[in-house]
Every structure is written in structure tokens, then in C-alpha cells.
Structure 1
């Protein structure tokens, strides 16, 4: 859970969205996580970590694609609203 919290914190701090992956290191002596890198274009094949992580969280491949499409559409709608309000 600590790693998940840190990954979410980094994701938000970097203002990332959609298809991104946060990589962490785990210090086995202290059991603490450290931020390694943000991958804004992770692999998306059946052997890639990104879809495997989502599968572990309970999302099928088609559910993941549908979620990513929903996020992209929501982002576009928000950006269009900002353009009109300026």
C-alpha cells in the first residue's frame, strides 16, 4: 500500500494523466519505497508490465482500453471548456 500511495502522489505531482506508469525502488533493508521514474509511454503488449498491473487490479484488456478512452475523452472535454472560458 505504501508503494501505491507514493506512486499516486508522484503521478499527481507530475500532473500526469491516462497512459502512464510510475516506477519505484524498494529498499529491502528499510522496506521503504523510492521514486525511480515516470514512464509516460509504457509498453502495451501482453508481456508488458502496464497491462499486467491493471489485470492484477481486476481490469481486463478491453476494460483497460475502455477506461483509457474515457479518460482521453474527459480530458478533451475539459480542455475544450478551458479554451472557451478564456
Structure 2
């Protein structure tokens, strides 16, 4: 799924563990409750995405764009968040 364009995709409650989504465009996507455990998503665009109650444990998210994303109750434990853009993201009750 590298460089894939899934802008505004409806992927609610999907399981996509160990996904290779480097540089994918998931801006505006609905990933509420999705399980992306162990995914490799360097430079992924998740601007305006809904990741409420999603599981992104042990993910490679370096340089990801999460501007204005809804991460409420998202589980990011063990994930690499170096240089992630979280400007105006909803980080209420995020697990790290």
C-alpha cells in the first residue's frame, strides 16, 4: 500500500496489522476503531483523519502528518512518533 491514495476512505473497525503504508494518503479517512498494530507508515498523511479508539501499537510513524486528526483514546504505545506533526490534533486520553 506504499504511496496509496485512500483520501476520505471509510475504513472504520478494519484490521490491517503489519501494513506497509509508507507515504500513503489517508487524509480525512475514517479509521475509528481500526487495528493497525505493527504497521510501517513513515510519512503517512493522516491529516483530518478519525482515529478515535484505534490501535496503532508498535507502529513506525516517523514524519507522519496527523494535523487536525481525532486521536481520542487512540493507543499509540510502543510507536515511533519522532517528528510527527500533531498540530491541532485531538489527543484526549491517548495511550502512549
TM-score class, shorter: under 0.3
TM-score, length of structure 1 as denominator length:
0.24
TM-score, length of structure 2 as denominator length:
0.22
Higher strand share: 1
Greater Rg by CA: 1
